[in-house]
Amino acid sequence: MTAATWGWLVLLFPLSGSIFLGLTFRVLPKKIGGLVGVGAIVAAFACGIAALISLQGEPEESRHVASSIWEYASVGGFQIDLGIYVDPLSVFMILVVTGVSSLIHIYSFSYMQSDAGYTRFFSYLNFFVFSMLLLVLAGNYVLLIVGWAFVGFASYALVSFWYRRETATKAGMKAFVINVVGDIGLVLAAILIFRELGVVDYASVFEKAPEVFSTNQWEVVAICLLLLLGAFAKSAQMPFHTWLADAMEGPTPVSALIHAATMVTAGVYLIARSYTLFELAPTAADIAAWVGLATLLIAGTVAIVVTDLKRIIAYSTMSQIGYMFVAVGIAGYAEGMFHMMTHAFFKALLFMSAGSIISAMANMQDIDKMKGFWKAMPFTAVMLIIGAFALAAFPGTSGWFSKDEIINFASLRGGMYSWMAAGMLVGAFLTAIYSYRILFRILPGKPCPEAQHLIDTGHVVHGDPVNPHTLEPEDTDVGYPGEHHHIAEQAPGMKIGMSVLGFLALFAGALQIPGVTEAVANFLEPTFENSAFAGVLPTEAEALYGLTKGGLISIAGLVLVWFIYMKRPDLPAKLIKTFRPLYTLFVNKWYGDELIEFLVVKPVKGFGQFCNRVVERFAINGLTTGTAGIVRSAGGAVRDLQTGMLRGYAVLMLFGIVAIVLYFLIRSI
Amino acid sequence: MAIEWYLVLSALLFSIGFIGVLVRRNPVVILLCLELMLGAGALAMLAFSRMLGDQDGQVMVLIVLVVAACEVVVGLGLVVAMFRRRLPLDVDDMKELKG
């Protein structure tokens, strides 16, 4: 079979899994539902590997296949196919998406065990993965938008999965609305592409674009900026970042899925996919990189001060996605993709470990209350350490190789990009601080009551179900989290998922060791071979110098955090006191929510109220009641004719008929 | 016999029936008068049919008779219903359908 056939199969499995579970979730036994959900994604992963093998069997110049099964629309020279485009980039994305999703599904199989919406959950999860696969496999910009919107919807369904929790439904709506803003940008970009080039499928667009556009011509800059609008919203970059932290309301596997495998990496993929356009519009590409840099710094500072375990990881995602945006913005596509892959591994691992700890805390997420989990949950603790060390780019871990590759690439480009490299080094230091902070806050010390309970009895604390944010009491019926909590130590499914990811987070860096291998870059080369910056490669010495620098920064962070939290436990409070304004700024997330509230929500609400008061009340009401009034008065004018007198009607009928007959008689004479 | 006599008779019967519909108030009588009008029409039809030597008119009259029978069934049904509800048998009192 060809790579395209495998590509279609990759799409088929999650879609049919989702539909099947969606239709039968009421009657299907839990176990079968879970197995179908997991099986569909594992099958998709297997097909992804088959696609990889069949693609690698081709000669390098023909490693891209377009395949279409349906003509979606064909109007006046405008043709859209329901087609996919299989090339190294999409296969790379497929493998990361389905691979990490498989592990997350296996983890959820155990983690969600006691939830009343178990099978429904797997139906949504499968749909989420299907949407993301459609997004990365789509062969033209229109189908890309379809996948893009599906992802938005799936995130809404999953973030609000506990739909009777008000905070969760609100977070879901926020995610959806912000994503729709991005969708608009993407749709406008597709329209502009069609207007300027007359085609929407990737192969023709990238072939025609260099002929039609000159560098930085305003049309291509506009297209790229609109694409960026979509990418920023989906990937939670400034100023659209606020939804990602709120999306933590969903179940933990969903957070893992959103952050690691699906959704937030879509923006990075979009820029890498459209790199031909972005290289024609260097201004837009620079904007992408600068926004990525700003996001990675701002999100990093927030992650240092927030105390909600999942939110720390969420802000770290924004900041790592910021790195990827910088990478693809400065034309380091393979570097960005490599970081996306390692990030998927260690971020999914971090979320899974966090989920395990949150379970042990009976759904509490505040790290202020967590202590001593090193003793209580050794397996989870080891996995958390691996994840955090990889995130902090500790020498030897996968994150070390991928992150420093991006920084290296930036300093190689020189000029203002060297400033970016410096900024990213600061970001790397922030990353190290917040990563290690998680560890030192949670793992050592005297176990907190929940951890102690686990050590003493071997069972997880069974607290009364409450909403962790508002502390409102809840029940455990459908639409709320399940009754029992599952931790990795006691659930084999969670253990499997985390072990595999732990291995990958540690050793996936081996794919790209300077001077030894360049597996990822070589694999992606056919996609990016036309890039003007394909030749920008660091020498071995430069690469090693960069790695040393990054490793030292990470170790410096480790020492600093160790000193603050272990040697001088009084220091954090003092630091907060000294830097009160900064702390307030960070802990309020740089007032991003408030800014959006002030700039967007308030004016829109005000406009809505204006419409309600003026347009609705006077214009629309006047129009409708006016029409009704005319009809009513016309009716009143003729109602007296309806006397109800039968004989009167008969007389009228007689006169009428006589008149008609007379008319015809007279005419015939 | 010339056709005029038939037509005059038909016109007379029709007028008598119609005046009956207009001046009487008892629904049973009104129904009777309606039947008279239908009969008048049928008679004219028959006369023309004989004059033209065409059988279509005869067929038409048979259909009219059947329709008239159906109409009487409905009409008498209404009258019986009015009677059962002890409503006055007077069409001038039945005018709740006015606008």
| Amino acid letter, residue A99 | G
The pLDDT of residue A488 is 66
To the nearest whole angstrom, how far is the Cα of A642 from the nearest Cα of chain B?
Answer: 5
Name the minimum distance, in Å, from the CA of A163 to any CA of chain B: 53
Q: Is the pLDDT of residue A50 over 70?
A: yes
Residues of A in contact with B92 (CB under 8 A): 645-647
Closest-CA distance of chain A to residue B17, Å: 12
Supply the pLDDT for residue B99: 59
Residues A235 and A268 sit within 8 Å (Cβ to Cβ): yes
Alpha carbons A278 and A223: distance in angstroms, whole number: 9
**What gap in Å lies between CA A320 and CA A336, rounded to an integer?**
10
Answer yes or no: is pLDDT of A67 > 90: no
> Residue A665: pLDDT band by 50, 70, 90 thresholds?
very high
A650 to chain B: closest CA residue? B22
> CA torsion, points A197, A200, A203, A208, in degrees to nearest 10?
0
- How far is it, in rounded angstroms, from Cα A25 to Cα A112? 15
The verdict on whether omega for the bond into residue A239 sits within 30 degrees of 0, i.e. cis, is: yes
Residues of chain B with Cβ-Cβ distance to A645 below 8 Å are 92, 95, 98
Residues whose CB falls within 8 Å of the CB of residue A141, separated by 6 or more in sequence, listed in order: A186, A189, A190, A193, A200, A201, A202, A205
CA distance B19 to chain A (A): 10
Of A638, A646, A651, the CB nearest to B91: A646
Close Cβ partners of A73 (under 8 Å, ≥ 6 residues apart): A79, A80
Of the residues A640, A646, A658, the best mutation for testing chain B's interface (the one with the most B CB atoms within 10 Å of its CB) is A646
Span A335-361, average pLDDT: 85
Contact B91 A650 (CB under 8 A): no
Q: How many CB atoms lie within 10 A of CB B86?
A: 7
Question: What mean pLDDT is predicted for residues A452-478?
Answer: 73
Residue/partner pairs of A461-466 with CB below 8 Å, 24 or more apart = A461/A360, A461/A361, A461/A362, A461/A485, A462/A362, A463/A362, A463/A363, A463/A364, A465/A363, A466/A363
Average pLDDT, chain A: 82
Mean pLDDT of the A654-660 span: 91
Q: Is B29 on the interface with A (CB under 8 A)?
A: no
CB atoms within 10 A of CB A661: 10
A651 to chain B, any CB pair closer than 8 A? The answer is yes
Give the ipTM: 0.81
Yes or no, beta carbons of A642 and B22 under 8 Å apart: no
Tell which wins on pLDDT, A373 or A35: A35
- B63 has pLDDT over 80: yes
Angle at A350 between CA A345 and CA A355, to 5 degrees: 125
pTM, two decimal places: 0.77
Report domain extents, chain A.
3-587, 593-668
What pLDDT digit, counting tens, does each position of A549-586 carry? 888 888 888 888 787 777 777 777 777 777 777 777 77
pLDDT at B66: 93
CA distance A326 to A427: 12
* Each residue's pLDDT tens digit, A423-463: 888 888 888 888 888 888 887 777 777 777 777 777 777 77
A83 confidence band (pLDDT: 50, 70, 90): confident
Say if CB B84 and CB B18 are below 8 A apart: no
Contact criterion met (CB < 8 Å) for B98 and A644: yes
Per-chain mean pLDDT for chain B: 88
Q: Assign B14 a pLDDT band (cuts: 50, 70, 90).
A: very high
Identify all chain B residues contacting A641, using CB atoms and an 8 Å cutoff. 99
Which residue type occupies A246? D
Domains of chain B plus CATH, in order, are 7-87 (1.10.287.3510)
Is A644–B96 a contact, with Cβ atoms under 8 angstroms apart? Answer: yes
- B87 and chain A: CB distance < 8 Å anywhere? no
Record the tokens describing residue A623, joined without a space.
């129009």
Q: Say what the pLDDT of residue A55 is.
A: 81
Name which residue leads in pLDDT, A208 or B59.
Answer: B59
Q: What percent of chain A has pLDDT over 90?
A: 3
Residue B1 has a CB neighbour count (10 Å cut-off) of: 7
> Which pLDDT belongs to residue B36?
92
Q: What is the CA radius of gyration of chain B?
A: 17
pLDDT, position B1: 66
Q: pLDDT class for A72, splitting at 50, 70, 90?
A: confident
Is the per-residue pLDDT at A662 higher than 90?
A: yes
Q: What is the mean pLDDT of residues A287-305?
A: 86
For A654, which of B18, B94, B97 is closest by C-beta distance? B18
- pLDDT tens-digit readout, B20-55: 988 888 889 999 999 999 999 999 999 999 888 888
Measured over the CA atoms of residue A243, residue A245, residue A249 and residue A250, the dihedral's sign is positive
Asked if A645 lies within 8 A of B96 by C-beta distance, the reply is no
User: Which stretch, A131-145, A359-373, A439-453, has highest mean pLDDT?
Assistant: A131-145
Average pLDDT over residues A399-418: 81
Mean pLDDT computed over B50-62 = 89
| pLDDT (mean) for B53-77 | 90
pLDDT digits (tens, 9 = 90+) for A267-290: 888 888 888 888 888 888 888 888
pLDDT digits (tens, 9 = 90+) for A625-647: 888 999 999 988 888 777 778 88
CB A83 within 8 A of CB A68: yes
C-beta of residue A249 within 8 angstroms of C-beta of residue A172: yes
For position A318, what pLDDT does the model report? 87
- Mean of the pLDDT values across residues A212-227? 84
Using the Cβ of A644 and the Cβ atoms of chain B, whether some distance falls under 8 Å is answered with yes
A642 and B CB contact within 8 Å? yes
